Amino acid sequence: QSVLTQPPSVSAAPGQKVTISCSGSSSNIGNNYVSWYQQLPGAAPKLLIYDTNKRPSGIPDRFSGSKSGTSATLGIIGLQTGDEADYYCATWDNSLSVLRVFGGGTKLTVL
């Protein structure tokens, strides 16, 4: 059971937009920055978003991040078949027993 809750799957057609939610608590998302990762099948995770809403160089502006309260959201517009992957949110947790946390992951299917 992950500390951060993501929907197991989302789907949309090519060219459309999708959002992936990541729900936490005041000890993690509520008081810390969020990062997002894309994992293609058989590959290591790749950083998509850091500091909640910043994109590393080379990540297209089709990807965006936001946060409200204890939830964060990854948005993808202009979906492409190559976006089909697993997506994970992550942040720091201020509680004593858990230091770094990931969401359970969301499988994006581009229909």
Partner 1 sequence: QVQLVESGGGSVKSGGSLRLSCAVSGFTFSDYYMSWIRQAPGKGLEWVSHINNGGSNTYYADSVKGRFTISRDNAKNSLYLQMNSLRAEDTAVYYCARDDFRSGLFYAYWGQGTLVTVSS
Which residues ranging from 69 to 98 are in contact with partner 1 (CB under 8 A)? 86, 88, 90-92, 97-98
Tell which one of 34, 72, 85, 108 touches partner 1 (CB under 8 A).
34
Q: Judged by CB under 8 A, does residue 37 bind partner 1?
A: yes
Q: Are 48 and 61 in contact (CB under 8 A)?
A: no
Give the H or E element holding residue 60: none
Which residues ranging from 14 to 33 are in contact with partner 1 (CB under 8 A)? 32-33
Question: How far apart are alpha carbons 33 and 12 in whole angstroms?
Answer: 27
Q: Judged by CB under 8 A, does residue 40 bind partner 1?
A: no
Q: Which residues pair with 35 in a beta bridge?
A: 90
